[in-house]
Amino acid sequence: MRKMSIEFVPDEKIMKLQAQMLDKIESLELVELLRVDFEKGIKLGVMQANVKEGYVIEDVELPDHVEYLNQLKSDGNKYICIVKVKVPKEFRKMMRDFKLDLIWTTPSMISMDKFIISCIGEEEELRKFLELIKGVGTIKNISFKKAAYQEHDILSTLTDKQREIIIAAKQNGYYDMPRKISSEELSKKVGISRATLLEHLRKAEVRLMENILGGY
């Protein structure tokens, strides 16, 4: 598997959608994607909002499709928040096109002049994603590297087996809504019992949430 990061300037329709929110925000950076439903157009994630000088997070006027569910931490002009995005209907077909066998990761950010999106996957899926990005913006920079879980990477907090199982669960649609695969089917795919599979997933999920929300 490889990690790909793409820096691009989105087209006018997408920039117009984000303009209201970015009026008082320098950038929004992904900390961790918690859930994504490509069919319903819903994304839930932990984000860092870097607010422009002279403003606080309460000054930011959010568009109808964005909701701050909870503020976890603030440090100067930086705010860590749980954010829910419900993509407007006119963009949902486009979002469904992005339902690929990829792991969405950091760095991923939005600002007035550029977007950065990073993902991990096999070469064929990364190539499909790259072609989709070409259809919604102008690519400025692309980087590829071998997927490795460094000390600062949240997946490095898992054991090798937990990481293997939770990635297999994601790739096979276990976390999709609705699920594409049952726990019984997934256990057969990875060659372990259902009870062992569920134990690995539960421990991995608890450890990931503890690291995302540690101290809150």
Residue 208: predicted pLDDT: 85
For the whole model, what pTM was predicted? 0.69
Average pLDDT over residues 60-72: 90
pLDDT, one tens digit per residue, over 71-101 is 999 999 999 999 999 999 888 888 889 988 8
Q: Strand 2-10 and strand 78-86: pairing?
A: unpaired
Give the separation between CA 196 and CA 175, rounded to whole angstroms.
18
Bridge partners, 3 (sequence order): 120, 145
pLDDT at 151 (0 to 100) = 47
Q: pLDDT tens, 8-46?
A: 999 998 888 888 889 999 999 999 888 888 888 999 999
The DSSP code for 81 is: E
- Which of 9-23, 42-56, 189-203 is least confident? 9-23
Amino acid letter, 44: L
Instruction: Say if residue 209's pLDDT is above 70.
Output: yes
* Amino acid letter for position 189: K
Where does CATH 1.10.10.10 sit in the chain? 154-212
100-110 average pLDDT score: 88
pLDDT value for 155:
75
Q: Write down the mean pLDDT value for the chain.
A: 89
Residue 122 half-sphere exposure, CB side, CA atoms within 13 Å?
A: 7
The angle at the Cα of 76, spanning 210 to 157, to the nearest 5 degrees, equals 20
CA separation, residue 152 to residues 155, 183, 204, 211 (Å): 9, 30, 17, 11
CATH (residue range 154-212): 1.10.10.10
∠ CA(67), CA(170), CA(191), 5° rounding? 155
- Could you read off the pLDDT of 125-154 as tens digits, one per residue? 999 999 999 999 999 999 998 776 554 467
